[in-house]
Structure 1
Amino acid sequence: MNNAKPTTPRLKTPTDLGANATKDLSAALNGVLADTFALYMKTKNFHWHMSGPHFRDYHLLLDEHADQIFAMTDVIAERVRKTGGNTLRSIGDISRHARIADNDAPYVAPDDMLAELREDNQRVVAAMREAHDVCEEHNDIATASLLETFIDEAERRVWFLYEIGRRGDPTGH
């Protein structure tokens, strides 16, 4: 009888990027992934707890934003794996890497929700730009291309959240 423990094959996706590239790309992308999960949860939190005269519009907008943010998560995680790395594995792992602060307040005013989400989306854009720099350093054009699309989507969310918060231009321009 063989009492040897079965060995689990290591997750080592073949890539031509090299060990340093895999390490650097995984670190950058896992940071973006953690921020994306944190932003998704905060967006859903504010979606669920929206109130006030613009409830329907804001509720629907935040649901649309949350869907878009969540759709990024699988693409980012799979890109980490395609480049030879390992990705986040748990809520704890996400919390250790996320740079987006939680908001557990029992009540947040709608305008404050929108402003906070605008700032958080801007932080995610900055993190994606930093990850893009890592991609350029290692000539990872596929990941850079994905990040460019995600940056554009996040900038659109920032734009919408900014315009909603402006309440129009009092000078009429």
Structure 2
Amino acid sequence: MNQINIGIEQADREAIAAGLNQLLADTYSLYLKTHSFHWNVTGPMFNTLHLMFEGQYTELALAVDVIAERVRALGARALGSYSAYAKLTQISEDNGVSSAKAMIQELLEGQEIVIRNARALYPLVQKADDEATADLLTQRIQLHEKTAWMLRSLLEE
């Protein structure tokens, strides 16, 4: 493979890629959980939540590709297994939650985990002058904060 000379030191690229693999693990784990909840939601808000969860998991499915491609552009390997994701993510698996309210709460918590982990990567990205990754993080944080707000609003009485 040719040397990568994009103006970001190798050590910084490796550290940023590791942080992006964390984001990838979180995003994929949240995707899987959201998809499961889409299939299994019941109750008076079934149609609303079924459609909302579909929109959310569809967006997350697209996001994992963007994140993984940025990891590759930095010269690292993008993680691609459940076991690798499980080692990195703090997002719990769907363990048979049946209440729509509990599903909303768990997805809200997952969104906030993604937000915190993406935000934690910023200092390194800024130090390395990695504008492309900073842009990716800004977009992801903005989207996850909006989704978290919408989920939080559903939990208000």
Q: What is the distance in 2 between the residues matched to 1:11 and 1:94?
A: 29
CA offsets 1:110-169 (integer angstroms, 9 cap, x no match): 0010011011101100011012222112110111011101111101110110111103xx
Residue matched to 1:152 = 142
- Quickly say closer, same or farther: Cα 1:92–1:11, change in 2 above 3 A: farther
1:134 and 2:124 equivalent? Answer: yes
Moved over 4 A (4+): 10-14
Which structure shows the bigger proportion of residues in helix conformation?
Answer: 2
- Quickly say closer, same or farther: Cα 1:127–1:62, change in 2 above 3 A: same
Q: What is the distance in 2 between the residues matched to 1:11 and 1:32?
A: 26
Identity %: 30
Aligned pairs, number: 157
| TM score, norm. by length of structure 2 | 0.93
Residue matched to 1:6 = none
Other structure's SS at 2:155 match: helix
- Quickly say closer, same or farther: Cα 1:12–1:45, change in 2 above 3 A: farther
Residue matched to 1:97 = 88
Question: What runs of 5+ residues in structure 2 fail to find an aligned partner?
Answer: none
Of the candidates 77, 81, 90, which is equivalent to residue 86 of structure 1? 77
Q: What is the distance in 1 between the residues matched to 2:106 and 2:3?
A: 39
Cα RMSD (Å) of the superposition?
A: 1.5
1:73 and 2:64 equivalent? Answer: yes
| TM score, norm. by length of structure 1 | 0.85
Say which one has the larger Rg: 1
Query: What is the deviation of 1:98?
Result: 1.8
Query: What is the deviation of 1:50?
Result: 0.2
Residue matched to 2:45 = 54
